[in-house]
Amino acid sequence: MKAVDQRLEEALFRFAGACAAWAAERWLREQLPIRFARRIEDILQLPHVAVINPQMNSILNTYLETFEVIHSSPPIRTEDDERVFLQAIATQLEKHNPGTRLIAEGYREVRRLYPYIRLDDFLHDHFTTRIATRILMDNYVEMRSPKEGYVGVVCQNMQPLKIVQEIAGELTPLTRSLYGCAPEVEYRGNPDCVLDYIPRHVKYMVRELLKNAFRSTVERHLSRSTVSDPLPHVAVELQQGDIHVIFKISDQGGGMPKRMQREAWKYGWTTVNTDRSYREAWQYAEDAEESCSWDRDRGHGDPSKPLQKSRIHFIFVGLCGLRSLRLRRSELAGYGFGLPLTRLHAQYFGGDVFMQALPGHGTDLILILTHLKAGTPSTEIDDLSTLLYKKEVKSS
């Protein structure tokens, strides 16, 4: 077991001679500033309107601070140096916690002013490095206070079913408080699956996919859900593969027309409208009529009924102007980052996520996660951010 742990440790850290004194610290002290400097350079090369955006600017300042703190930390020669370095890493790690939300808010504001600005490549590189640097820093901190059942940030033999149940348990009261009802979750497949993975990542991906399934189910069926005809269930199927675990999340939220399916993977693409004045609410209802598959492609019953629901629902939200409701609804959807970031997280360790949307019926999201275990491809692949870094060095 020790050998496995050590190999995994090496796979995560990508430095040779893990046993040498303070090798991890030295490696991090050298590598992290390079990665932060590259991202700072990227941010500074964004269009001016993005750089001066308050949220983007706050990200830039945090990156500058982290670069400065790590770069100027003294060489590690004693245990005291090591303790100071560990504390600095833990403090900096925390400062980056709101990073995803800030970027998402900033990008939304920039695109509200300049709708033609697209920063997909920047965001892809930014989030890839963000995942990498956070794993490296987090792993280092966790390894200094080992927990039973964990190798650094990787939890061994965790139970995906428990994670899905925990997230569904969080989202059900949230959805109920926003919409008045929430779908039941039905579990299928192999409830005993086990997975070696970073719990924070699994929770993030499952939360994003379940939020989408809950929202689409409620928004499609809200007007006609009654006690005798409740909302259709969201089904979560778990299966154990040789080197991976498969999560299939199925909803009957109306799916998406084909032309929207590709868009949905782009950063910032969302069908949530966050600025709803009366006119905008009406316009949104019109757009929903134009574009939402769950309104147009039902092909049965009274086709005007769901449209009415859509209009009344959105106009109501627009008219009531409850800022707090809007803010709280953004907890369920609205940034358009859920799908692209879920894919990035899954692909980071050799997994993937696929969508099968049946317009007029519902959506299946299939998430495949590969075990983070020594000997499986996910720990053999190169760290993506290292690849990114090599690419940058080559091109500069």
Please report, as ranges, the residues that interact with ligand ADP according to CB under 6 A: 208, 212-213, 216, 251, 253, 256, 264, 269-272, 333-339, 363
Work out which of 338, 351, 359, 362 binds Mg ion, going by CB under 5 A: 338
Which residue, 39 or 343, has its beta carbon nearer to ligand ADP?
A: 343
Least Cβ distance, residue 139 to Mg ion (angstroms): 28
Binding partner of residue 336 among ligand ADP, Mg ion, none, CB cut-off 5 to 8 Å per kind: ligand ADP
* Span of 14-22, 142-150, 293-301, 333-341 interacting with Mg ion by CB under 5 A: 333-341
Instruction: List C-alpha distances in Å: 11 to 342, 378, 382, 394.
Output: 22, 9, 8, 24
Distance CA 392, CA 396 (A): 6
The span from the CA of 369 to the CA of 387, in Å, is: 21
Partner that binds at residue 11, options Mg ion, ligand ADP, none, CB closer than 5 to 8 Å by kind: none
CB closest to ligand ADP, residue no: 338
| Residue least distant from Mg ion (Cβ) | 338
Question: Taking CB within 5 to 8 Å according to partner kind, which of ligand ADP, Mg ion, none is near residue 269?
Answer: ligand ADP
187 binds, among Mg ion, ligand ADP, none (CB under 5 to 8 A by kind): none
Integer CA distances (angstroms), 355 to 203, 221, 358, in order: 19, 21, 10
Q: Which is nearer to Mg ion, 105 or 196 (CB)?
A: 105
Closest by CA position to 237, among listed 325, 164, 147, 311 = 164
CB of 116 to ligand ADP, least distance (A): 19
CA distance 219 to 307: 11
Question: Given the complex with Mg ion, which of 208 and 295 has the nearer CB atom?
Answer: 208
- Residues contacting Mg ion: total by CB under 5 A: 3
Q: Which window, 87-95, 143-151, 327-335, 360-368, contacts Mg ion (CB under 5 A)?
A: 327-335
110 binds, among Mg ion, ligand ADP, none (CB under 5 to 8 A by kind): none
Are the C-beta atoms of residues 50 and 120 closer than 8 Å to each other? Answer: no
Quick one: 189 or 334, whose CB is closer to ligand ADP? Answer: 334
Angle at 21 between CA 16 and CA 22, to 5 degrees: 80
Q: Residue 191 in contact with residue 227, Cβ under 8 Å?
A: no
CA 137 vs CA 38, 53, 77, 289: distances in Å: 17, 27, 20, 47
In the numeric block, which tokens belong to residue 114?
């300049």
Residue 251, binding choice from ligand ADP, Mg ion, none, Cβ under 5 to 8 Å by partner class: ligand ADP
Considering the complex, what minimum distance in angstroms separates the CB of residue 25 from Mg ion?
Answer: 38
Q: To the nearest whole angstrom, how small is the minimum distance from the Cβ of residue 256 to ligand ADP?
A: 5
* 223 vs 180: CA distance, rounded Å: 11
Q: Is 212 in the site for Mg ion (CB under 5 A)?
A: yes
* Closer residue to ligand ADP, CB minimum distance, 66 or 212: 212
CB closer to Mg ion out of 232 and 336: 336
Smaller CB distance to ligand ADP: residue 64 or 222?
Answer: 222
Give least dist CB 294 to ligand ADP, A.
7
Query: How far is 219 from 17, CA to CA, in rounded Å?
Result: 55
Smaller CB separation from ligand ADP, 212 or 379: 212
CB of 343 to Mg ion, least distance (A): 12
> Going along 190-330, which residue ranges are E strands?
195-197, 234-240, 244-251
In the structure encoding, which two tokens stand for residue 301, read together?
A: 């019953």
Give the DSSP H/E element, type plus range, for residue 358: strand 352-358
Taking a C-beta distance cutoff of 8 angstroms, is the pair 183, 232 a contact? yes
* Integer Cα distance of 119 and 55 in angstroms: 15
Residue 333 is a binding residue for Mg ion (CB under 5 A): yes
**Least distance between ligand ADP and beta carbon 206 (Å):** 13
CA 116 to chain centre: 24
Shortest spacing between CB 129 and Mg ion, in angstroms? 23
Scanning 25-33, 47-55, 101-109, 330-338 for contacts with Mg ion by CB under 5 A, the matching segment is 330-338
The edge-to-edge listing of strands for the beta sheet with 244-251 is 185-189, 234-240, 244-251, 362-370, 352-358
Minimum CB distance to ligand ADP smaller for 155 or for 182: 182
Sites of contact with Mg ion (CB under 5 A): 212, 333, 338
